[in-house]
Amino acid sequence: MTPKHPSITVQLTGHDGNAFAILGRCKQAAQAGGLEKADIDAFLAEATARDYDHLLQTAMRWFDTQ
């Protein structure tokens, strides 16, 4: 499955797996990738709508994750 923003890469492995740390890395990558605030806010709202597994799935749907 191709992510929504394949040009934005977020490193999920080898880093702190805490949900807040993942959200921070995703937000930072999105900002660096030029996403508008509204898109970043939409990602954050979707990612935090449910549990940790949903957060990871959302990150993988939105960005190229490694």
7 φ, ψ (degrees, to nearest 5): -80, -5
- As a whole number of angstroms, the distance between CA 54 and CA 38 comes to 20
For the whole model, what pTM was predicted? 0.93
**Per-residue confidence (pLDDT) for residue 16, from 0 to 100:** 86
**Per-residue confidence (pLDDT) for residue 14, from 0 to 100:** 86
Which residues in 4-43 are b (16+ Cβ under 10 Å) and which e?
A: ebeebebebeeeeeeeeebbebbbebbeeeebeeeebeeb
- As a whole number of angstroms, the distance between CA 63 and CA 66 comes to 9
**Per-residue confidence (pLDDT) for residue 32, from 0 to 100:** 98
Ranges of each domain in the chain? 5-65
Tens digit of each residue's pLDDT, the chain (66 residues): 899 999 999 999 888 889 999 999 999 999 999 999 999 999 999 999 999 999 999 999 999 999
